[in-house]
Structure 1
């Protein structure tokens, strides 16, 4: 099949998770020989997440600054795309919509238009995946969008996964990587990428009381600020990592605390014990989303209890895991990873879906 041109639209609204997912998708599409334009209202995170992206150093990927109004050089002046992906429900720029309406009116074919949704393990994902969403109003009335849901089961769109992931993990030297960062040897290393969980001070104190001690590798921004507000134990400030280096962090640690969508997926691929802080919603809708994920994960009781406490669900305290708990958590995560590896990845499924709809 000939290479296609993809427009991926993304608004950076969720602590870099949105752009993180979109960049990984862009990189995987480009690796397949596809041509990708990534429209971002805030391209700055790519300066550290994907160095060189804004300078055009990634073959097959153009990063376009999505301003409002759109710059005069964009919109009508660009070659039309074969695929539109609006990430997480963001509408494409009005100028792009008007330009497409003109082309459709002139008899040209519209792109396959996909609404790439948020990740969830809730039952509605399987029901809604690949369903049509007719455009009922506006200049593109009569076209059809398609819902595409990432997920954890065979009846969803799957997860982003690089073809060489397992090979890179097999050759990764964690000791050398940690030494290059100037980090001391430790009995237990824990990465911390979180928002501001209320139970963090207690967790830090529990970890510090262990005879072997714990070294916390803390990401910059909100996680570092939260840890500094209630310091306990050995905290090590990390720099901003590129996406491959963030993966290395998760591979090198004995326990990972992650947040949001992209890092959850990377924690699953890391196959190490992890605790996920789900993005909090004001109506507590994230509670059901968390429970659905824990059900799919087949999480043991101690991991369920810790997740609930870490996410402010219920009144049970977080209990720092002992060696047996960590072994149970690791076995659980590795079994989940094996189930996921048996399923097609998200990028492959998207390419196949688009080919069917053209």
Structure 2
């Protein structure tokens, strides 16, 4: 099938990140996707192999779909996806008026809130404008069988297992991170308001304590047992790097022999996945990265997009309740306090002295790591989003 996917880049990289991953997954499964986007500049680093395209994917400027005279561009395919209610151009909508119009789907934002299951699949008829008489249907990603599932490419878990068994350390070293099996790795991808300095203080204190307590953990094959090494914090470009550099400039980086900072180059989506797989603790932001952290199966923290009206707090609570369902109560409470602290929703200082206390993420078979693996296993039982979406449009009528 030919899919037209419309994306407006509002801010950050979440919208185009989700849309690119959707298109790439469709292309890999034998479909053809045209990604109509108003600002494709992020694809230069996010998907360098995809500029101008990968198998089955073509990137087209939004403006081409706005021009009524552009008949070739304005011939809709079998499916039209408007990502996150972005409203495709009127000229394109007008061309959807044909005896057998394309399936029209509004791909919504990801949420674990209860309204998602109630709203998934609902149809909305259009009564005016160039699309009058057509209808679009709402497709909600989510975490239960009553939703549209999550983006997950076929064979993803097998690729992770192969990477962890054979490629992890060489890949890190090629990235400029001289990691050993003894080291503990943290990735950071956050927004500007993150209290990263508090977390670096806590990570540094943990690293120093671990050095005193070595030898430590007895992890599974993914992270073999070893004496305590350095904690290496891998910083994505932008806010994570600038916040960490500001922390160091304040003189708070007092133990570089225990905690090392590694600013990274911009990573393509496929490389970002490897980063999450390689690290013991991942701090992520935005929808696409949050889902990839779930598939990594390691302890993680989600820095949710902050909204002025505070509704992000409810969204975060709903996700924590879903993701952490069935966890031991003490672990769940401790992790939730840490998540709220990073999101500055509630004070989460629970003391070792004056500093933030972090749940134990360093032990590869510890409670947080095991709970993350169990929660991932529950999500893997769901049908992935692209499989559900293809069935959804085939039955949309």
What TM-score, normalized by structure 1, do the two folds share? Answer: 0.92
Which residue pairs with 1:215 in the alignment? Answer: 232
Which consecutive unaligned segments of at least 5 residues does structure 1 have?
A: none
Contact residue 194 and residue 222 of structure 1 kept, 8 A: yes
Contact residue 5 and residue 81 of structure 1 kept, 8 A: yes
In the TM superposition, what whole-angstrom CA distance separates every residue of 1:293-320 from its partner, at most 9, and x where no partner exists?
0000126111100001110111222422
RMSD (CA atoms): 1.9
- The aligned runs of 1:206-245 (5 Å cut-off) are 206-209=202-205, 210-211=207-208, 212=211, 213-231=230-248, 232=253, 233-245=259-271
Q: 1:242 to 1:290 in 2, by over 3 A?
A: same
Separation in 1, partners of 2:361, 2:64 = 53
- Select which of 322, 334, 342 maps to 2:360: 322
1:84 counterpart = 2:80: yes
1:252 counterpart = 2:278: yes
**Which moved further from structure 2: 204-213 or 328-337?**
204-213
- The aligned runs of 1:128-167 (5 Å cut-off) are 128-167=119-158
Contact residue 36 and residue 62 of structure 2 kept, 8 A: yes
- The aligned runs of 1:7-18 (5 Å cut-off) are 7-18=4-15
The CA deviation at 1:351 is 0.2
The CA deviation at 1:59 is 2.2
Contact residue 235 and residue 263 of structure 2 kept, 8 A: yes
Which residue pairs with 2:372 in the alignment? Answer: 333
**Which moved further from structure 2: 91-100 or 316-325?**
316-325
Separation in 1, partners of 2:27, 2:194 = 41
Separation in 2, partners of 1:67, 1:222 = 31
Q: 1:223 to 1:324 in 2, by over 3 A?
A: closer
- Select which of 103, 112, 125 maps to 1:121: 112
Q: 1:328 to 1:136 in 2, by over 3 A?
A: farther
In the TM superposition, what whole-angstrom CA distance separates every residue of 1:236-274 from its partner, at most 9, and x where no partner exists?
111111111000000100100000100110000001110
Q: 2:51 aligns to what SS in structure 1?
A: helix
The CA deviation at 1:137 is 2.0
The CA deviation at 1:138 is 1.1
Which residue pairs with 1:184 in the alignment? Answer: 178
1:98 counterpart = 2:94: yes
Separation in 2, partners of 1:248, 1:242 = 10
Separation in 1, partners of 2:3, 2:269 = 22
Q: 1:356 to 1:145 in 2, by over 3 A?
A: same
Contact residue 359 and residue 368 of structure 2 kept, 8 A: no
Which residue pairs with 1:282 in the alignment? Answer: 308
- Select which of 292, 295, 309 maps to 1:266: 292
The CA deviation at 1:32 is 1.6
Contact residue 104 and residue 137 of structure 2 kept, 8 A: yes
In the TM superposition, what whole-angstrom CA distance separates every residue of 1:65-93 from its partner, at most 9, and x where no partner exists?
11388357745544331111000110002
Separation in 1, partners of 2:309, 2:337 = 21
Which residue pairs with 1:35 in the alignment? Answer: 32
- Select which of 341, 345, 363 maps to 1:313: 345
Contact residue 36 and residue 62 of structure 1 kept, 8 A: yes
